[in-house]
Structure 1
Amino acid sequence: MKFSVLGPAGTFADAAAHQYLSTTHQTATIDYHATFEQVYQAVAPDGIGLLPIENQLDGFVMATLQRLQSEAVTIIGETTIPVNFGLAAQADSLSAIKRVYVQFKTEGQCQNLLSSLPNAEIITTSSNMVSVEKLQHGKPGDAAIIPQSQMALNAFPLMRDNVADQLDNFTRFTIFKKSPTTLAANTTLEAAVNQFKCPIFVTPPTDDPGTLYEILGYPKRAQLNLATLMSLPTKQKMGIYSFYIEISGTTAQLDDLQATLTEMARVFTVQPLGVYGL
């Protein structure tokens, strides 16, 4: 099985992929790609892919949500790993830093450090390992925020550990197949699974007052837990939004989940993204 992830090797996505394989007792060939689009396109019919979906400090990854919204995918699991960062620089002091390479999502997790470098140019990269490579081939005044694990593998004149806004910092990754999910009945999970999660997109036909209140009432009446709520533009009409929702519950509530989604689909456009165990 081919497992497509953001690369190169050594990224947090790489670590998340290996953790997922270990905890699910699966084997796969890790297939690295530079962008979210390339990860999605590389997923084979019999393969799986992994993308970051949420960071504890910086919130949801909109690029992933937009991909889930626009493509036919089935989410089959998730995995969460601790993340932290260090600062490395081709400089002898913070005041000598002229440029900082930082991955687009890492930037939001290290705002305290970046605000202390008001004269440095912030250059966004596609991955944390690209930031490492940019610094390795950089020039005096260059700096990079890199995974803490890379600090012991590299040597630069200036190095500072643990520069994220807080040490307690995790990123959640979603694992998916490139196939559509339906509202089919009789969803089953492994016998050992006690809890499930079901991510969906719900799109109302209009922006009438009370629409979101109405949507939220469905899982409430079924005593299903609403774990996540995010809004994304449909890109079809100004003011019409699609809502990304994660519903969780016990396996004893799977029939309630099915009935709830079916009922919602009579009023709204419901795009299910799978049901998986926690």
Structure 2
Amino acid sequence: MKLSVLGPEGTFTDAAAKAYLKTQPYANVTLDYHPTFDQVYQAVSGDNIGLLPLENQLDGYVSATLQRLQTAAVTEIGEITIPVDFGLVANVDNLSKIKRIYVQFKTEGQCQKLLSSLPSAQIITTSSNMISLEKFQVGDLGDAAIIPQSQLAEVSVALKQNNVADQADNSTRFIIFKANPANLVELSQTSLTAERFKAPLFITPAVNDQPGTLYDILGYFAKADLNLITIMSLPTKSKLGVYSFYLEVSGNRNQQEALFTTLQELTSSYQVHPLGYYAV
């Protein structure tokens, strides 16, 4: 069995994957590293599973993951949240001498205080924190990188700075998914032993430019006393101005019937794209 994740080894996604496996009864799981979100998705087939970042405490949702979930034929089977912290490495002896700094695209949004204190430094965006480190290690005098705090001790440089995120209590939530689309009937038959559940989904209105659409959708959940912990709109990309709503429903296991009755009722007026139903 393979667990496909964003690589290389040493990233926060790698750490999340290893933390998730400690909570599961899986045996003989191989971590399968890929450089892009698309390659992680494409690698998940059969009994294999995948893991991708969904939400950061400081920088919000990861659009690259949400955009794929919007149309992907996958089923989310769980999630895990881990703390994330960053350090700075530079081959200069003073922050003011930094000319170029490598930083992963989501890390940038979590370290704005540091980056705004370096107005003359060129920011080079990378696809992973470990790629930031790799580019720094083969770079020129004046280069710097923001990398996972856990990697700081492994790097020998003139300047290191600990804990450069905008706040100390920073964390990222990751989703775990398997191949094949989620199905409302099959999900409704899932038996959860945990007290709480989460059910993520997309709802797409038949007519977007209409007053009261979101109010109507929310009414279904309010009537069933189901708690919505996330509401976001994303463009469907089919036409300018056409949007889907990404929702995450939370509740206790006694509300399972109410949840799936509500989702089934919604299908009569809206396009419902369920993504999973799992214990939290």
Cα deviation for residue 44 of structure 1 reads 2.3
Aligned to 2:196: 195
**Percent identity between the two aligned chains:** 63
d(CA) in 2 for partners of 1:190, 1:57: 31
Aligned to 2:39: 38
Q: Does 1:257 align with 2:254?
A: no
d(CA) in 2 for partners of 1:248, 1:231: 18
Aligned to 1:129: 130
Q: Does 1:81 align with 2:82?
A: yes
d(CA) in 1 for partners of 2:252, 2:69: 24
Q: Secondary structure at the match of 2:184?
A: coil
Cα deviation for residue 71 of structure 1 reads 1.2
d(CA) in 2 for partners of 1:47, 1:33: 14
Cα deviation for residue 119 of structure 1 reads 0.6
d(CA) in 1 for partners of 2:228, 2:153: 41
Deviations 1:52-96 (A, max 9, x none): 000000000000000100211100000000001001001111111
The match for 1:242 among 241, 244, 248 is 244
d(CA) in 1 for partners of 2:200, 2:140: 45
d(CA) in 2 for partners of 1:190, 1:223: 20
Aligned to 1:110: 111
CA contact (8 A) 2:8 2:130 kept: yes
d(CA) in 2 for partners of 1:26, 1:89: 40
Aligned to 1:61: 62
TM-score w.r.t. the length of structure 1 is 0.98
Tell me how many residue pairs correspond in the alignment. 277
CA contact (8 A) 1:73 1:273 kept: yes
d(CA) in 1 for partners of 2:48, 2:125: 30
CA contact (8 A) 1:80 1:170 kept: yes
Q: How does 1:1-278 map to 2 (within 5 A)?
A: 1-27=1-27, 28-184=29-185, 186-191=188-193, 193-206=194-207, 207-278=209-280
Unaligned 5+ segments in structure 2 are none
Cα deviation for residue 239 of structure 1 reads 1.8
AA partner of residue 13 (structure 2)? A
CA contact (8 A) 2:89 2:160 kept: yes
CA contact (8 A) 1:101 1:123 kept: yes
Q: Secondary structure at the match of 2:19?
A: helix
d(CA) in 1 for partners of 2:98, 2:92: 6
